[in-house]
Amino acid sequence: MSLVSFRAVQKTYRSMQGVDYPAVEGFDLDIEGGEFFCLLGPSGCGKTTVLKLLAGFEAPTAGQIVMESRLVTGASRDRGVVFQGDDSLFGWLTAVENVEFGLRMRGIGKAERRRRALQYLQLVGLTGQERKYPAELSGGMKQRIQIARALVNEPTMLLMDEPFAALDAQTRALMQLELANIWHTTRTTVLFITHDIDEAVTLGTRIGVMRAGPRSDVKGVIDVALDGARSRTDDAFLKYYKQVYEMIRDEVAASVARAGS
């Protein structure tokens, strides 16, 4: 039994003009406990829609999402979320207060939640920055706060929506490395949304490729039999890169053609 199952999920958005846009349709996917699942697709294919549905921020138009034998009907702290931008951080709280937020909502005592928050800030490499406000921190540091804020709640699953897309290339590479280490430490199940093949092969234990929208679904899933430190220059890495690239190439072309027309 998979941890999460998408069963024939459909999500249709209605524009202000009343035009329906079916973002995803007939979307089936199983995510196993403990895996690092990368969902890859061309821009505008509905990757983020899938994440929002699983997070419970939006409800599917048709189909079901089941997690641990329960139907997903809304947001819950068993699914932590890391957003792409920094606008999800609470700007009036310091780094450590941001991380404590979930524990505070649960009524965990001040000393205890501070202890746990500091522990997770250490895990993401933010020790010494805990009293700073998000506005005083760099993009990479803000994403670390988000990761710590989600993980301190000990969610069953971590949903990450292109969390490093807005960072510069060097910071992104560093963050990928550290996320891989964090995942090896915590072994939390991850659904990681990205449009970057390199990132998916670097991080994922499985990679799902989505078709270009509208009516997107999963084109194929590739198992990545690499473990530990991955190097972009390894033959095995390149083999997976090529495999994913060939699967996604036509979808990117379709996506670009649609955007251009």
Partner 1 sequence: MTARPGAARRLWRVYGGYAVGFASLFLIWHLASVYLVSSVLFPPPTAVFRKGLELGRNGVLLEHLSASVQRILTGFIAGSLLGIPIGLAMGSFRPVRKLLEPYTEFLRFIPSVAMITVAVIWFGIGEASKVFLIIYTTIFIVIINTAAGVSAIAPNKIHAAQALGATRTQIFLHVALPATVPYILMGMRLAMGNSFTTIVAAELIAANEGLGKMLWDGRMFMLVDDIFVSLVTLGFLGFAVDRMFRWSIYTFAGKYSPAT
Q: Would you say how long the chain is, in residues? A: 261
Encoded amino acid at 188, one letter: T
Nearer to partner 1, 74 or 228 (CB): 74
Residue pair 193/46 in contact (Cβ under 8 Å)? The answer is no
Residue with tokens 């988000």: 146
d(CA 148, CA 137): 15
d(CA 103, CA 92): 17
> Which residue, 121, 4, 93, is CA-closest to 54?
4
Taken in order 88, 89, 90, 96, the sign of the CA dihedral is: positive
42 binds partner 1 (CB under 8 A): no
Nearer to partner 1, 21 or 57 (CB): 57
d(CA 139, CA 166): 8
**Least separation, in Å, of the C-beta of 248 and partner 1?**
27
Binding residues for partner 1 restricted to 80-109, rule: CB under 8 A: 80-81, 83, 85, 87-93, 101-102, 104-106
Single out the residue of 70, 77, 184, 242 in contact with partner 1 (rule: CB under 8 A).
Answer: 77
Cβ of 31: how many Cβ atoms within 10 Å? 22
Nearer to partner 1, 157 or 222 (CB): 157
Single out the residue of 22, 43, 125, 133 in contact with partner 1 (rule: CB under 8 A).
Answer: 133
110 binds partner 1 (CB under 8 A): no
Binding residues for partner 1 restricted to 144-173, rule: CB under 8 A: 146, 149-150, 153, 159
Nearer to partner 1, 67 or 212 (CB): 67
DSSP three-state, residue 216: strand
134 binds partner 1 (CB under 8 A): yes
d(CA 83, CA 89): 9
Stretch that binds partner 1, among 36-44, 51-59, 184-192, 250-258 (CB under 8 A): 51-59
Which residues would be at the binding site for partner 1 (CB under 8 A)? Answer: 55-57, 74-77, 79-81, 83, 85, 87-93, 101-102, 104-106, 133-135, 146, 149-150, 153, 159
